[in-house]
Amino acid sequence: MARRVSIGVRVGEIAIGNGAPVVVQSMTNTDTEDAPATAQQVYDLWRAGSELVRITVNTPEAAAQVPHIRERLDAMGCDVPLIGDFHFNGHKLLSQHPDCARALAKYRINPGNVGKGAKRDDQFATMIEAAIQYGKPVRIGVNWGSLDPELLARMMDENGRRGAKDGASAVPLSADEVMREAMIVSGLESAAQARKLGLPAERIVISCKLSGVQDLILVYRELARRCEYALHLGLTEAGMGSKGIVASSAAMAVLLQEGIGDTIRVSLTPEPNGDRTREVVVAQELLQTMGLRSFTPLVAACPGCGRTTSTYFQELAQRIQTYLRDQMPAWKQRYPGVEDMKVAVMGCVVNGPGESKHADVGISLPGTNESPVAPVYVDGEKTVTLKGARIAEEFQAIVERYVQDNFSPGAQRRRPSRPQAVLSGPQAVAIKAVK
C-alpha cells in the first residue's frame, strides 16, 4: 500500500506525515474552564489510545486553565500533546495568555472563523505569529459548516461569470462543486498566507472536513493532489452510534486505502452519558482492521446463527475483547508485539475449529445439540478441551499464558505475525514497524 508523500510535522513527541504511522487523535467535550474534568477526560482518551487530544479554548477563563490542565496531566504521568481549538477570538486568547500558548503543542485555526473583512487577515496573522513565537505547528482546519463566507461568495461570483465570459463551452460548476473547491482553496490559501508570514511547511497540517462521505472523498483526493502538507482526516458531524461509525469508516477507509491521511479523528456524537473514548477505539479498529497499524489484540468471533441458541459465546467474545483492551496499557510496555495477537471465539463446530486454527489462540464453543465441550487451539494445534462451568476463566488463563510465553522480552514466538501492509515510495517505512 503506497502512502501519499507528505511533509512531516512534529506535535510534541508525535510525528505526523512523512511516512509516520497514521496518528489517532480525539477531542474532549468537557468545559475547558473546568480543569479537573478536562484533565480527567484527556487522560481517559489518552489511556484509550489517543495520541493527540484537542481541547476547546473559547474564553479567557478557558485559556487561563490550559496550563493547569497541562500540569495536572503531567502529574498523572500523561504526556499526551494538547491541541487548542480556536475560533473567533483565538488571536486575543493566544496573545493575552502566553502560558496557554506555551502549554499547547499545536493550534487549530479555522480560517472561516477568524474574522470578517479587513480584520480577518490581521487576526489570522496574530495567531500564526504566536505559533512562530512559541515554535508550535498549526492545523488549518476548514469545516464546511463554517466555510469562509466571503471566499465562497467570491468563488460563486467568479463561477457565475465564467460561462458568460468564456462562452458556451465553459459550463459553470454546480453549487456543490464550487463549495468543494472553496474548501480546498480556503485551506491552501490560508496555508500560503501562513508560509508568507514565516511559518514553515513543517509546521502546517491541513484538514477540510465535510459531513458527506462522497464529498469528503472528492475534496481530500483533490487536496492530496495539489499539496504536500500533512493531512488530518475526519468526517465532521458524523453522527451517533452505528451511523457515525459507518459513515466515518466508509469515508476514511477509501482515502486511507489510497494512501491519503496522516492523522485521523472519528467525530462520534456520544450517547447521553456515553463514553467519549469510543471514538478512539473506533479509530484504532479502523486502522487495525485495514492492516495499517496494530493497537490491541483483535478477537475474531462468528455472528452466531440458529446453530447456537445461547448467548454464551457472545458473552465470552465480549469478555475476552474487553479483557485484552483493558490489559493493553500495561501489556504495551511488558509484552512488545502483543498487539498483533489474534484470538478467535467461535460459536459451533461448522467454522469454529478452522477459524480457531488461523488465530494464535482460538476456542470453538459447542453449538446446540453438540457435545458440551470446547476445544482450544494454540498456534493452530488443538491443545486442550474445556468443559464445565469455568470455560471462560480457563480460556482467559490460556490467553494470558500465551501472552507471557510469546511476548515477554527474549521470548521466541512460535508463530510469527503475518506481515502487515508495507509502504512504498521514497519516504516509505514499513508499517509493521509501527507500534
Residues 203-262 that bind ligand SF4 (CB under 6 A): none
State which of residues 253, 254, 300, 350 lies at the interface with ligand SF4 (CB under 6 A).
350
Beta-strand ranges (E) seen in 229-321 are 230-233, 239-240, 263-264, 268-269, 298-301
Closest approach of Cβ 292 to ligand SF4, in Å?
Answer: 28
What is the C-alpha to C-alpha distance for residues 313 and 346, in angstroms, rounded to an integer?
A: 7
Closest approach of Cβ 390 to ligand SF4, in Å?
Answer: 22
State which of residues 163, 212, 304, 336 lies at the interface with ligand SF4 (CB under 6 A).
304
395-402 — which CB contacts under 8 Å span 24+ positions? 395/316, 395/320, 395/363, 396/319, 396/320, 396/323, 398/361, 399/320, 399/323, 399/324, 399/343, 399/361, 402/341, 402/360, 402/361, 402/378
- Cell 467519549 locates to 276
The residue among 261 and 367 lying less far from ligand SF4, judged by its C-beta, is 367
**303 lies in the binding site for ligand SF4 (CB under 6 A):** yes
What is the C-alpha to C-alpha distance for residues 329 and 366, in angstroms, rounded to an integer?
A: 33
State which of residues 346, 359, 363, 376 lies at the interface with ligand SF4 (CB under 6 A).
346
* Stretch 356-395: interaction string toward ligand SF4, x if CB under 6 A: -----------x----------------------------
Q: Considering only the stretches 14-22, 208-216, 284-292, 346-354, report the one whose residues sit in contact with ligand SF4 under the rule CB under 6 A.
A: 346-354
State which of residues 206, 224, 302, 431 lies at the interface with ligand SF4 (CB under 6 A).
302
State which of residues 87, 92, 120, 307 lies at the interface with ligand SF4 (CB under 6 A).
307
Find the helix or strand (DSSP H, E) in which 86 lies: strand 82-86
State which of residues 153, 170, 246, 305 lies at the interface with ligand SF4 (CB under 6 A).
305
Closest approach of Cβ 366 to ligand SF4, in Å?
Answer: 10
Find the helix or strand (DSSP H, E) in which 102 lies: helix 98-103
Closest approach of Cβ 307 to ligand SF4, in Å?
Answer: 4
Closest approach of Cβ 396 to ligand SF4, in Å?
Answer: 20
The cell numbers describing 338, all together, are 502483543
Q: Which residues touch 341 (CB under 8 Å, ≥6 apart)?
A: 297, 360, 361, 402, 403, 406, 407
Beta-strand ranges (E) seen in 123-222 are 138-143, 204-209
Q: Which residues bind ligand SF4 (CB under 6 A)?
A: 302-305, 307-308, 346-348, 350-352, 367
